[in-house]
Every structure is written in structure tokens, then in C-alpha cells.
Amino acid sequence: MSGVIDDAHAILADLLALAGLEGLPLDRLTITEHDKVLATAWPIAPIATATLAAVGLAASHIQEMRTGEKLSVEMDTRSAEIAMASSSYLEVGGKNAKFRDPFTGLYEAANGEWVFLHGNFPHLRQGLLDLLGAENDSDAIGSAVRQWDAAELEAEAISRNLCAAKVRERSAWEATEQATAIRALPVLQVTRQAPAGLTAWPGGRIDAAQNPLSGLRIIDLSRVIAGPMAGRTFAEHGGTVLLVSGPGLPSIESLVIDTGFGKHACEIDLARDAGRADLAHLAGSADVVLDAYRPGAIGGRGLDRATLHQSNPQLVHVSLSAFSHAGPWSFRRGYDSLVQATMGMTFEAGADRPTLLPCQPLDYLTGYLAAFGAMAALIRRAEEGGSFAVDLSLATTAQWMWEWRNRLGNDSSVPASNPSSSDIADLIATHGTRFGTVRAVRPPLKIGGRLAEFRRPPVPLGSDPAIWPA
């Protein structure tokens, strides 16, 4: 094996151990190595390859449990890397649909420090503009930010429930209370919550032509990328995914499209008693509930983990947050780029200014890890019985990436830029959707020699009723 494949196998072994799946057969996994394609020194290829391999092996094992069939798992490092930048290649109606509000980005503050301002949702952008007392003009914003101490601007934004981060070098992040709070947390926690009888797979044995997760139900309470990718991955392997959005919640259409393949999408108003009752009813017959909102946001509606487990003792509950459930920052909003800036991922030693990574590995890795964690819990539910909890965060994923970078070192051969859409045309598929013709990066895994085929294209939010589809 090559160095990258050796590294991927080492990372994979750790992931399987964290999930309690050390016995999964690695002999059915084939990895093909290609030249590096993402323009970063971070060792994305082995980390992404290992994460996706974990998903594939879990899906293959579930298929074996349900049919007796031992499916191969095939992947390559190029597809794994591109999966970390999927939204960058989305095209709708022949045009690239990648979205980032021009306001969002890195700004120089006082004393040569930097801040990252996130305003991809209108209310977050306007809140920061009001805080700065500036119009939405790049020169005016830059001038206003330069009047602020970076730490003070971050603190004031957080006090207003907005998204701003002081850009830290790695050592500065490690000195924070939050870094101390999450240092001992693994990238993935799969925990048996309470004893219960063994849970049979829904519908018993499935036909060998069906996908591993056929008949399994997941409620997807998430938006943007990380949580929605977990739900999309579940759908990729045959699960029934019900994406639940709320009335009035802002969304980014391109991400709804890119992460919406295979899903049903309904709307439930959790501010109303009837809405909370509807969601509780759905959760009562779900296999997995994915909560990717800030800790306590959904639980505060009477839909916390303990309550859901009490009403559905076989439930797998997945919690995905920005800064984890631990530490003084657990309540903070956070997105991939904001966590990158906070945790020292954007400021390389000796650089004049910070630079965001040319991909969103925290979002995509955490999403795939959440799907893997849910599959691991379902396997253990069938083998051990009980209810399970799965916990992840963007911050613990970033910490995990740092740990592996320290062990593996930087990539020595880094392309000048990410590949263009034409460079990866073989990795892109075309779909007819209600949004128009969509071209999107296809799933990176082959299970049993075939790529996933989603049962339905992405649909606009709220397109379906709040019931489990037949």
C-alpha cells in the first residue's frame, strides 16, 4: 500500500474502534490512490478517505446482517477529496450555484489582528452591520472593523447571538477555556443509553437488490451542510429521510439542493403545541433522530434526547453542534469557516494574513461521521439491544484533523488551485429537478460495485406532508 492508503487505514482503525465496530472486515475495502487535487497542505486525502471508508464498511455490514450478502466497498482518494468541496461544483441551469454572501469573510481589525464575519443569512449580516454601524459596502465594513479590537468585536457579536470570530493561531486557540473543555472529547461518541431488547431490522430480511438502509427512518433536523449531509448519506444507502424545516427559518437554496438528494421535505412549526406533537409522533416510529441545531434549541421544545428515548426506547439520537456540548462556548452559533478561523486552521506560521481552506472539511467530515455513527448505533442496536446516542461537533472534528496533521505532517505536493468542473467531469452527474437541471458531485462510494442512485431528486423545503411516506 502507498503512504496515503496506509494513513487512511490507520485513521479508519481508530474510527471503527471509537464506534465499537473493531471487527468489521477490512478485506472487502479497496482504495485507489490518485494525485492530490485540493490546494491545501492539510492531509485531506487520507482523512476523508478513512471517513468515507467507515461509512461504506458500516453499510456493507448492515447489508450482510440483513441479507447474508458480503458487499465490496470501493473508493478512491480523488473522489474523497472532492467530496469535501461538493457545494463548490453544484450547477443549476448551467450556472455555478456556489453561494457566499459578499459580506462574509476575513477582515483586518486593530493592531494587525483579524476577524471572520459570517453573514450568509440576512439576519446575521444585518445584525453585524448594525453592530459595526456600517452600510453593506466593503470599504465601509473594512474601515469599521479596523476600529475594533478583534477579541472585543467577537465578544460583542456573541453577546448579540451573531457570528464573528477572532482569527487565532493554533497556540492562541489552545489557550482558551473552550479548547481545554473539548480536548478530551473524541471526534465521535457512540454511547449506549439504556438497556432494551434487540431491535429487529424493519421488515426483517431484505432482497439483495435493495440498499442496506431500506426501511429505516431518519428525521433530519438540520440545515446548511454538516447535518444535511448526514441525512443525505443515510438516503444514499436506502434510508427514508424526512427533512424537517420550520416556517420562516432562512435557508440557502444551493445547499438545499446539494444536500437534498433522496429526501422528503416537510415543514413543522415547533413554536406551536400541535407542531411539537407532530414531531414527537414522527419520532415515536423513527429509527434515527438527527438534531443539528445548537444544544438545547430543539430540546427546549420538550424534544430533548431523554424524552425522545423514553417514548421510543430503540431510538438512535444524533447530536451535531458547532463547538460541542461541553465548555463555555457550547451555546454559540458556528459554521465551518467560522470554526476554522477560531481554531487556528486559517493562519499558517509565517503567513502575512489568514486564508480559509479551499474546501469545507469540517462540514463534510462531520456530516459523514454523523451518518457513520448512526449506522454504527443501528448495528449495535441489532446486536446488543438498547437505545443509543451519537455526539459530534465541528470543533471536535477540527481538533481531530489537527491531531492527524501533527502525526502525518503536511502534504508535500500541493496543487496551485482546486480542479475545475471540467477537470472532474467524470465525478459529476446530471439530474432533472424542480429547481431545473442540476449538475452535482455524485456519491463517492461504490457498494457491491455500484454507485448509489437516489430514489428522488432534491425538492424545495416543505414540499411533502409531515408524515412518513409509504
Which band of pLDDT confidence, cut at 50, 70 and 90, is reported for residue 203? low
- Average per-residue pLDDT in the chain? 94
Predicted local confidence at residue 248, as pLDDT: 86
For the chain, percent of residues with pLDDT exceeding 70: 99
Which band of pLDDT confidence, cut at 50, 70 and 90, is reported for residue 462? very high
What does the pLDDT look like over 131-171, one tens digit per residue? 999 999 999 999 999 999 999 999 999 999 999 999 999 99
Largest Cα span, the chain: 65
| Residues forming a β-bridge with 318 | 290, 390
Q: Is the pLDDT of residue 424 over 70?
A: yes
| Residues forming a β-bridge with 118 | none
| Nearest of 373, 316, 388 to residue 187 by alpha carbon | 373
Distances (CA, A) of 211 to 53, 106, 290, 373, 468: 17, 43, 21, 18, 18
Which band of pLDDT confidence, cut at 50, 70 and 90, is reported for residue 2? low
Is residue 260 within 8 Å of 266, Cβ to Cβ? no
Distances (CA, A) of 80 to 85, 193, 278: 10, 33, 38
Q: Who contacts 85 (Cβ-Cβ below 8 Å, separation ≥6)?
A: 38, 358, 359, 360, 364, 418
Q: Which residue has the cell 443549476?
A: 92
Angle at the Cα of 220 (from 219 to 225), degrees rounded to 5? 165
Question: What sign results for the dihedral spanned by CA atoms 311, 314, 320, 321?
Answer: positive
Q: Who contacts 83 (Cβ-Cβ below 8 Å, separation ≥6)?
A: 48, 52, 364, 368, 441, 444
Predicted local confidence at residue 352, as pLDDT: 86
Q: Is the pLDDT of residue 7 over 70?
A: yes
Is residue 280 within 8 Å of 260, Cβ to Cβ? no
| Nearest of 30, 39, 28, 37 to residue 79 by alpha carbon | 37
Q: Is the pLDDT of residue 1 over 50?
A: no
What does the pLDDT look like over 88-136, one tens digit per residue? 999 999 999 998 889 999 999 999 999 999 999 999 999 999 999 999 9
Calculate helix-pair angle for 44-67, 361-384, nearest 10 degrees: 30
Predicted local confidence at residue 423, as pLDDT: 97
Number of C-beta neighbours around residue 411 at 10 A: 18
Average pLDDT over residues 329-353: 90
Predicted local confidence at residue 120, as pLDDT: 92
Angle at the Cα of 421 (from 415 to 426), degrees rounded to 5? 100
Q: Who contacts 27 (Cβ-Cβ below 8 Å, separation ≥6)?
A: none
- 105-108 and 114-117: which strand pairing? antiparallel
Q: Is the pLDDT of residue 59 over 90?
A: yes
CA-CA distance, 195 to 388, in Å (whole number)? Answer: 10
Alpha helices by DSSP H, listed for 296-335, are 305-311
- 95-96 and 105-108: which strand pairing? unpaired
| Nearest of 49, 327, 50, 392 to residue 188 by alpha carbon | 392
What does the pLDDT look like over 343-365, one tens digit per residue? 999 987 778 899 999 999 999 99
Is residue 119 within 8 Å of 103, Cβ to Cβ? yes
Least confident residue range of 10-19, 89-98, 191-200, 211-220: 191-200
CA-CA distance, 395 to 183, in Å (whole number)? Answer: 10
CA-CA distance, 214 to 204, in Å (whole number)? Answer: 10
Predicted local confidence at residue 298, as pLDDT: 86
Is residue 421 within 8 Å of 414, Cβ to Cβ? no
Query: At CB < 8 A and 24+ separation, what contacts does 272-275 make?
Result: none
- 189-194 and 164-166: which strand pairing? unpaired
For the chain, percent of residues with pLDDT exceeding 90: 85
Q: Which residue has the cell 454538516?
A: 226
Q: Which residue has the cell 487556528?
A: 344
Predicted local confidence at residue 137, as pLDDT: 93
Q: Give the three-state DSSP class for 114.
A: strand
Is residue 263 within 8 Å of 439, Cβ to Cβ? no
CA-CA distance, 8 to 359, in Å (whole number)? Answer: 19
